Structure 1
Amino acid sequence: MIKDKRVNKIEEYIIQHKSVSLDELMNVFKVSKNTIRRDVQELVDSGDFKKVYGGVAVNDERAKLESFHDRQVRNQTEKEMIGKAAANYVHDGDIIFIDSGTTTIEMIDYINIKQVTVITNNLDFIVRALPYENINVITPGGILERKTNSFGILKYMDMLNTYNINKAFMASTGISLSNGVTNASPLESELKSSIVNRSSEVFLLIDHNKFDKYGLMTYCGLDKIDFLITDAIPSEVYQSYAKKNDIQLIIAE
């Protein structure tokens, strides 16, 4: 088994069992203790897992919801590149959804001359779109999630079925083959799932640090994505998955 695939399988195993010993991982994956230690260290370095006596466990800190500002200042250049690349797929007359997130917000600077209808729960996008009369903004409303500067819906989800969304530009706390596309806010997850199911084409905008990470809730499987826009070529495991599932991989430059 190649390393990347093995590490992904180990990640799935730890998530399933919450806490496992190194000896158990050795027996399950038929590799040496040194190999397991290196693989486990790689997972620990990602921040999703922590070492415990004789083994490794899921790091519950991963589920904490980070503030919008803390996320916004991280990898800002990469986010701008991804937002610009995503904007190339927006055309006059489109009806699009722009998700909450610090990467999707970067699209505003590149679509503000286009005639589009934007459905969004992204409060910052709504504010920044105010000067542009050519952008028709629709918000589904809901409960304001101050940590993410966005609205989360708990009721009246059926209203989304009246909109013919041809392109959805989604954000994520992290993605993995085992957990799919994830999110840290329970208030937003139902909305995200509904949008993915409703849209003709789904674009996922994530920087390279989001691979092999996961948040509190999964809002869709990775196979539901049509276009994956990121700033660096992902591992062979993700390249192979994208090819197998007809996901167009776009590297922003």
Structure 2
Amino acid sequence: MYQEERLLSIVEYLQEHKKITVDQICSFYGVSRDTARRDLVKLEEQQSIIRTRGGGILPSHPKEVLDYQNRLEVVSDEKKLIGKKAASLISSGDRLILDASTTVQACAEFIDSPNCTIITNSINQADILSQKEDIRIHLLGGELQKEHRYLYGESVVDKLGNYHVDKAFIGVVGLSENGLTIAHEEDGIVKRKMIKQAKQVIILADHSKIGVTDFYRVADLNEIDLLITDKIPEKPFRDLLKQHSVELLVSSEGNEEEEDEND
């Protein structure tokens, strides 16, 4: 068994049993204590576990989701690469949905296709797009979530049901075997409706979101068509995407070449 497969298996065990010891890893996978310790170090580096004396446990608190302005400053270079790649998929005349995530905002900044119609619940996205010519903007009205700068509620979901679009660009907090997950239910309900209204669902997520499961499940992997990320995921996750017929697009040309070599 490759290390990547062991790591996934260890996390699955932890999700059920909450803790694991070095001796258990040695017994379960037939590896040495040194190999077991290296696995725990790797999982800690990925922020998947907390190492303890003789083993590891799951973190007791979910990963903090920063407010919108602070999220704009996190891995901004990666988000720009992903946003630029996503914008390159947009054609003149497309009808689009853009959600309120900061990675999708990076896509909005790079859109230069004329005659597009864009539906969004993000006041930031609407402001950016209003400065571009030949783009029609539908801003969905509802209650304003001030910290994360999006509109939500029953009126937003109802209005979305009237639109049918070519592509939806969606950001997430986590992307794993448990599907697409985010931190806040009210945001997730809106994203779920956005996904249902699009012919093609495109997920924008930097490498730190891969393998993460957060609080609220938005959709299953088989409900998305394309994932755009900045680094090639490890093979077990690529296999998971293939299993659910999800295409993978990496925003760096160097990474794309490496993906070809590894597949």
Gaps of 5+ in 1: none
Counterpart code for 2:41: Q
Deviation of 1:28 (Å): 4.2
* C-alpha RMSD over aligned residues: 2.2
Structure 2: unaligned runs, 5 residues or longer:
253-263
Q: TM-score under structure 2 normalisation? A: 0.85
Q: Kindly state the Cα deviation for residue 112 of structure 1 after the two structures are TM-superposed.
A: 4.0
Residue 110 (structure 1) aligns with: 110
- Residue in 1 aligned with 2:213? 214
In structure 1, the partner of 2:57 is 57
Residues 99 and 170 in structure 1, CA contact (< 8 A), matched pair in contact too? yes
Q: CA deviation at 1:29?
A: 4.2
Matches of 2:156 and 2:118 in 1, distance apart? 19
Q: Contact 2:109–2:128 (CA<8 Å) still a contact in 1? A: no
Kindly state the Cα deviation for residue 229 of structure 1 after the two structures are TM-superposed: 0.8
Partner residue, 2:257:
none
Correspondence for 1:34 = 34
Query: What's the counterpart of residue 81 of structure 2?
Result: 81
Whether contact under 8 Å (2:109, 2:129) holds in the other structure is no
Letter paired with 1:226: D
**For the Cα contact (< 8 Å) 1:154–1:190, is it kept in 2?**
no
Question: Where do residues 168-247 of structure 1 align in structure 2 (5 Å cutoff)?
Answer: 168-177=168-177, 179-247=178-246
- The answer to which of 103-112 and 33-42 deviates more is 33-42
Deviation digits for residues 58-98 of structure 1 (CA, Å, limit 9, x no counterpart): 21333432112222112212211111111111112222111
| Residues 93, 113 of structure 1: alpha-carbon distance in 2 compared, 3 angstrom cutoff | closer
- The verdict on how the C-alpha distance between 1:152 and 1:45 changes in structure 2, with shifts beyond 3 A counting, is farther
After alignment, is 16-25 or 243-252 more displaced? 16-25
Aligned AA (1:197): K
Task: Provide the C-alpha distance between the structure 2 equivalents of 1:20 and 1:169, rounded to a whole number of angstroms.
Answer: 38
Give the equivalent residue in structure 2 for 1:123. 123
Instruction: Give the conservation status (yes or no) of the 8 Å contact 1:68–1:147.
Output: yes
Distance 2:145 2:179 in 1: 23
Residues 31-54 of structure 1 show CA distances to partners (whole Å, capped at 9, x for unaligned) of 444333222222222223223454
| More divergent stretch after superposition (167-176 vs 59-68) | 59-68
Return the alpha-carbon distance in structure 1 between the equivalents of residues 61 and 72 of structure 2.
19
Alpha-carbon offset, residue 153 of structure 1:
2.6
Q: In 2, distance between residues paired with 1:16 and 1:145? A: 34
Counterpart of 2:160 in structure 1 is 160
Aligned: 1:149 with 2:149: yes
Contact residue 92 and residue 113 of structure 2 kept, 8 A: no
Q: 1:124 to 1:156 in 2, by over 3 A?
A: closer
How many residues were matched structurally?
A: 252
**35 and 106 in structure 1: CA distance in 2 versus 1, 3 angstrom threshold:** same
The secondary structure found in structure 1 opposite 2:165 is coil
Report the Cα distance in structure 1 between the residues aligned to 2:63 and 2:83, rounded to whole angstroms. 25
Q: Which structure has more RCO (C-alpha within 8 Å, separation ≥ 6)?
A: 1
Bigger Cα displacement from structure 2, 72-81 vs 132-141:
132-141
Query: Given the superposition, is the C-alpha separation of residues 66 and 48 from structure 1 closer, same or farther in structure 2, using an over 3 Å criterion?
Result: farther
Q: Alpha-carbon deviations, 1:139-178, whole Å to 9, x = none?
A: 333332233222233566333221102211111112122x
Identify which range, 153-162 or 99-108, moves more after superposition: 153-162
**8 Å contact kept, 2:171–2:203:** yes
